[in-house]
Amino acid sequence: MDCGPAPPGGAVASMNQRRTRMNKAKLPAGLNTLVVYLAVALLSGCGEEYLQSTINPVTDYGEVTQNLYVQVFWWTMVILVVVLAVLAYILVRFRERPGQERPAQIHGHMGLEIAWTIAPALIVVAIVIPTIQGVFEVQRPPDGKALVVEVVGKRYWWSFHYPELGITTANELHLPVGRPVSLRLESGDVIHSFWVPQLGGKRDVNPVVVMPQGEESKRNWMHFTIKEEGVFWGQCAEFCGEAHSLMGVRVVAQSEDEFQGWVESWKTPAPTANVPAAPAGEGAGAGLASALPAPGPSAQDPRMDAGAQAPVAEDPLVARGREVFFRESYCVLCHAIEGTQAPGIIGPNLTRIGSRLTIAAGMLENTPQNLEAWLRDPHAIKPGAQMPAAQAGVTYEGQTFPPTNLNDEQIRALAAWLSSMR
Amino acid sequence: MSVATGTLKAAPAAHAEAAGLWSWVTTVDHKRIGIMYFLTSFFFLFVGGLEALLIRIQLMRPENAFISPETYNQMFTMHGTTMVFLVAMPMAVAFFNYLVPLQIGARDVAFPRLNALSYWIYLFGGLFLNSSFLFGAAPNTSWVGYANLTSLQFTPGRNVEFWIIGLSILGVSSIAGGVNFITTIINLRAPGMKLMRMPLFTWMTLVTSFLLVTALPVIAVALIILGFDRFFGANFFQVTAGGDPILWQHLFWLFGHPEVYILILPSFGIISDVIPTFSRKPLFGYPVVVYAGILIGFIGWGVWSHHMFTVGLGPIADSFFVASTMIIAIPTGIKIFNWLATMWGGALRFPTPMLFAIGVVAVFTVGGLSGIMHASAPVDLQQHDSYFVVAHFHYVLVGGALMGLFSGLYFWYPKVTGRMMSEALGKWHFWTTLVGFNLTFFPMHFSGLFGMPRRTWTYQAELNLETWNQLSTVGAFIFGAASLLLVWNVFYSLRKGERATANPWGASTLEWSIPSPPLHYNFPALPEVRSRDPLWDEAERREVEAATLSEPAREPQMPSPSFWPLLTALGVVLTWGLLMTHLWWAPLGGLAFTAFMVFNWAFQPAFR
């Protein structure tokens, strides 16, 4: 850790000992050190190397929280120091001396009682007022027109649908910097919580209650405007079952131009999504796709060079993979790919999956090798995942999915094809 | 210094209580039941601790696979459930049992056989819950068991059912216990023991008991409707049929927040008795401390949704619960100030019970203040369900509740066993506990702030959370080793400890006026009390001791032993447990068994 203020392990240990060793005379010095340590480590921008730091926000929403946190932090620090200092003083000053008689028997003091009721009450008021302002602020919809994204949490991945753009993707949320964004949260199964700490606090992703009359319960929203470009890490924050800890998410915050490029790329299927000759019945967009230039993958994509070759001459392995996907497996039952015949809605939408940073909801870097490993046995990577493995089926929420029975050749081809769809 | 001078008299043979295993199985003596409560909860403390250590080993390295996610989920669920329901609550009840009658000058609790029933239901319920491990089906949906994850659709298998039924059984025990202690404290006080003269521990027992009888039914309702969903296909939490999983959260926390005070108030009571003793000064602001405790009990009912700030209840509801939660900080702060004021101007001594009591004041303050941070709802949106919250509630429940119980253990052990615990071992235990505890939980503030959610089996290496987690793991092992010192001390001192006098600490309350250990009927004659600190007034002490250290003219008649409470408890557990067969008529068999036992119980005279 090159973050200066964060105390190294040993220092934390000794700091704790120091804090509690209150009957030593030199305590006030120890307390000061403690407070400095705490303050610097708990407040500063030292969160930078921490990808999920809660104290390094990049949105207006996150800043509201952060400002409140800093205020409350200092109030509580003042109280902590006063209480511990008084305690330390007492423990030194009033220890029994040899032969000491029973001390004066004092039963109480009304003035003091009133004083230490009113003092904390005032501090509480000082905290409650900005807090309640913050409560309303973080739940206020943006003034301007916001980009709406419908977020659906499922065990154990995320679906993102942009209703105005007609885009559906999974596990990687692309958002523009500087424009208000509104996320509409709902769950496809149990309660999840959408938490990308640098964007701001979490919100529960509740299943929608459908009343017998057809009325639906309201969904949660998150409203924010991102101020910095970057890739922000997050994960589900409400325990949702076996693979809860493996339900990650990435948010790619892009400049408005880059974001528009990304949106444009979605308007056509990936060049390799369909058979280049576009045989009858195989997706009307395919011919058009081959005529268009390859869309620019996001700047963060480590493999953008490889992507440029795709539309020219098709790799036989890629063609083979497409055949496996559409004709030799039942992938399409669960997965959709826009502009193709794959209609499934149970699993993540795979449109342009090759352009994503990760697979398995943020768990693995998106490489053909990792894709192969995932296709062979998803449960080795994510125990509890609903996707069947090559040699093992799954039963999930009452539905049974048999093994895919894909052999190594098929898996290699499938991974190559999926990777090619950028 | 007015340590009791009364010589320790061995009870004449005629007064001795029967010995042997059977006498313990059939006992209705509150002191023996208290000891059994303590030993059982002490055992479960180590079961829960072992689960915690497995969790800590798993989290020591990122992307570790020491245990599987399924096992991990069972471990943290059982750790939480065990520590709350099988350790912290019943260990407090152990102290209620042993001490309340002694502190108020009574010979037993109001319903001695009901008391035995409470204990046996607790024991069998705890065993039932843990028997799930034998079936590889330990509860795995966390100690809060949020719907609709607990539905049959999402968590098939018997795990959730063990949890529902186990907790339902334990609830019976707690409610019966609460009724018993309320009745005892209201009705069985010695002459002159007005409410405002009761020791603080008894006061907090009274408040806690009211919370028990009011809060436990709420979770009972929640568990029963969840049971209806799972066993009988009802739709309370099925969203497609108009059921609402948020209902579970309201019910759970409506119970769960008073539960927090059920866990912490006994500890507050204990240290409110310990601190004056070793300051050699009466408790500062006694009525204020009492009222603050009562107030906490009341306001504790109006803060539950601060566990639900991320749920999306809307800004109005959030604001209300922000305000109520902040308000409850005030009486809690008042208690801390009064403890400090009690020590101020005193003549402080630092034997182990006092060390732990001071530890509670310091450590609980840290936990209370981090609580203020997430009482600020927007801040909570970040901290909720992160390790920051894990740090917070361990500071409150381990640093506050458990260390308070340890303080009480060192304090009253001489009264219970007639021997002192080893001071040297005690001091080692205290300091290693303090170091281990802080090293375990303080770094969790950081892992939480840096984005580690709770209830996660592992974390990715890129998150840079390894150092903080390693510190926690090292701390947890130090804490675990420290606790072994306590075990050694408890059993070693039983044989080798220095003999204790009636009042080895020079304390002021009634339980210190009788021999250590007490006679089985506690008080040969009931003392008359004239103040809050009867043993600190020379004249009053002599009067009290004339009654409490006398030879009784006629041996007091005590309730006879009975094995019906044990058999009735078996019936209760059988009735609930047979639900696991998923045959609707099977529990009727258990019900018939219970009814038969209750019938026999009813016709057995309480006194021979």
Chosen for mutation from A1, A2, A3, A12 (greatest number of chain B CBs closer than 10 Å) is A12
**CB B382 within 8 Å of CB B360:** no
Please determine, for residue A306, whether its predicted confidence score (pLDDT) is greater than 80.
Answer: no
Report the residue from A73, A195, A244 with minimal CB separation from B455: A244
Q: Per residue in B91-125, pLDDT tens?
A: 999 999 999 999 999 999 999 999 999 999 999 99
Looking at CA atoms only, how far is residue A287 from chain B in angstroms? Answer: 42
Q: Per residue in B18-74, pLDDT tens?
A: 788 999 999 999 999 999 999 999 999 999 999 999 999 999 999 999 999 999 999
Whole-number percent of chain B with pLDDT over 90: 92
Does the distance separating the beta carbons of A94 and B343 come in below 8 Å? yes
Tokens 């309320």 sit at which residue?
Answer: B182
Average pLDDT over chain B, rounded to whole? 94
Report the residue from A83, A113, A246 with minimal CB separation from B285: A113
Report the residue from B376, B382, B536 with minimal CB separation from A131: B376
Tokens 């009274």 sit at which residue?
Answer: B206
Looking at CA atoms only, how far is residue B491 from chain A in angstroms? Answer: 28
Average pLDDT over chain A, rounded to whole? 84
* Predicted local distance difference test score (pLDDT) of residue A282: 42
For B67, which residue in chain A has the nearest alpha carbon?
A: A383
For A129, which residue in chain B has the nearest alpha carbon?
A: B323
Whole-number percent of chain B with pLDDT over 70: 97
- Among A353, A357, A403, smallest CA distance to A378 is for A403
Residues of chain B in contact with residue A235, where contact means CB-CB under 8 angstroms, are: 453, 456
Please determine, for residue A19, whether its predicted confidence score (pLDDT) is greater than 70.
Answer: no
Tokens 């019936």 sit at which residue?
Answer: B571
Does the distance separating the beta carbons of B281 and A124 come in below 8 Å? no
Report the residue from A108, A127, A139 with minimal CB separation from B285: A108
Residues of chain A in contact with residue B287, where contact means CB-CB under 8 angstroms, are: 108
At residue A298 the predicted structure's pLDDT band, cuts being 50, 70 and 90, is: very low
Residues of chain A in contact with residue B450, where contact means CB-CB under 8 angstroms, are: 47, 50, 52-54
Looking at CA atoms only, how far is residue A329 from chain B in angstroms? Answer: 27
Distance CA B292, CA B254 (A): 21
Residues of chain B in contact with residue A51, where contact means CB-CB under 8 angstroms, are: 451, 462-464
Distance CA B42, CA B87 (A): 7
Chosen for mutation from A244, A359, A370 (greatest number of chain B CBs closer than 10 Å) is A244
**CB B74 within 8 Å of CB B51:** no
For B74, which residue in chain A has the nearest alpha carbon?
A: A242
* Predicted local distance difference test score (pLDDT) of residue A309: 41
Instruction: Please list the active-site residues of B.
Output: 79, 108, 143, 173-174, 257, 259, 261, 272, 306-307, 332, 335, 454
At residue A35 the predicted structure's pLDDT band, cuts being 50, 70 and 90, is: low
Does the distance separating the beta carbons of B380 and A16 come in below 8 Å? no
Distance CA B33, CA B25 (A): 10
Judged by average pLDDT, the poorest of A143-147, B80-84, B445-449 is A143-147
Please determine, for residue B280, whether its predicted confidence score (pLDDT) is greater than 80.
Answer: yes
How many beta-carbon contacts under 8 Å exist across A and B? 328
Q: How many CB atoms lie within 10 A of CB A333?
A: 13
Does the distance separating the beta carbons of B239 and A210 come in below 8 Å? yes
At residue B312 the predicted structure's pLDDT band, cuts being 50, 70 and 90, is: very high
* Predicted local distance difference test score (pLDDT) of residue A41: 61
Please determine, for residue A13, whether its predicted confidence score (pLDDT) is greater than 80.
Answer: no
Residues of chain A in contact with residue B448, where contact means CB-CB under 8 angstroms, are: 54
Does the distance separating the beta carbons of A207 and B281 come in below 8 Å? no
Tokens 């400002």 sit at which residue?
Answer: A67
Residues of chain A in contact with residue B358, where contact means CB-CB under 8 angstroms, are: 22, 87, 91
Average pLDDT on B597-608 reads: 90
Please determine, for residue A37, whether its predicted confidence score (pLDDT) is greater than 90.
Answer: no
Q: Per residue in B228-265, pLDDT tens?
A: 999 999 999 999 889 999 999 999 999 999 999 999 99
Average pLDDT on B218-225 reads: 96
For A184, which residue in chain B has the nearest alpha carbon?
A: B312
Tokens 């008359």 sit at which residue?
Answer: B528
Tokens of A290: 């081959």
Looking at CA atoms only, how far is residue A275 from chain B in angstroms? Answer: 38
* Predicted local distance difference test score (pLDDT) of residue A21: 33
Q: In three state form, how does the secondary structure of chain A look?
A: CCCCCCCCHHHHHHHHHHHHCCCCCCHHHHHHHHHHHHHHHHHCHHHHHCCCCCCCCCEHHHHHHHHHHHHHHHHHHHHHHHHHHHHHHHHHHCECCCCCCCCCCCCCCHHHHHHHHHHHHHHHHHHHHHHHHHHHHHCCCCCCCCEEEEEEEECCEEEEEECCCCEEEECEEEEECCCEEEEEEEECCCCEEEECHHHCCCEEECECCECCCCCECCCEEEEEEECCCEEEEEEECCCCCCCHHHCEEEEEEECHHHHHHHHHHCCCCCCCCCCCCCCCCCCCHHHHHHHCCCCCCCCCCCCHHHHCCCCCCCCHHHHHHHHHHHHCCCHHHCCECCCCCCECCCCCCCCCHHHCCEECCCCEECCHHHHHHHHHCHHHHCCCCCCCCCCCCEEECCEEECCCCCCHHHHHHHHHHHHHCC
* Predicted local distance difference test score (pLDDT) of residue B551: 84
Please determine, for residue A299, whether its predicted confidence score (pLDDT) is greater than 90.
Answer: no
Does the distance separating the beta carbons of B467 and A1 come in below 8 Å? yes
Top-confidence residue, B294 or A284: B294
Report the residue from B69, B242, B312 with minimal CB separation from A211: B242
Residues of chain B in contact with residue A22, where contact means CB-CB under 8 angstroms, are: 358, 362
Burial A96-125 (b: 16+ CB within 10 A, else e): eeeeeeebeeeebeeebbeebbeebeebbe
Does the distance separating the beta carbons of A235 and B438 come in below 8 Å? no
Tokens 């840290």 sit at which residue?
Answer: B366
Average pLDDT on B143-171 reads: 95
Tokens of A249: 């998410």
Chosen for mutation from A69, A155, A194, A210 (greatest number of chain B CBs closer than 10 Å) is A69
Chosen for mutation from B75, B236, B250, B310 (greatest number of chain A CBs closer than 10 Å) is B310
Phi-psi region of A172 (alpha: psi -120 to 50; beta: other; left: phi over 0): beta
Q: Per residue in A374-391, pLDDT tens?
A: 999 999 999 999 999 999
Residues of chain A in contact with residue B68, where contact means CB-CB under 8 angstroms, are: 383
For B338, which residue in chain A has the nearest alpha carbon?
A: A113
**CB B575 within 8 Å of CB B591:** yes
At residue A137 the predicted structure's pLDDT band, cuts being 50, 70 and 90, is: very high
Does the distance separating the beta carbons of B380 and A235 come in below 8 Å? no
Whole-number percent of chain A with pLDDT over 70: 80
Judged by average pLDDT, the poorest of A280-294, B123-137, B583-597 is A280-294
Question: Which pairs count as long-range contacts for A41-47, CB under 8 Å and 24+ apart, including other chains?
Answer: A41/A5, A41/A6, A41/A7, A41/B446, A42/A73, A42/B445, A42/B446, A42/B449, A43/A70, A43/A73, A44/A5, A46/A3, A46/A4, A46/A5, A46/A6, A47/B449, A47/B450
* Predicted local distance difference test score (pLDDT) of residue B570: 97
Report the residue from B73, B284, B359 with minimal CB separation from A106: B284
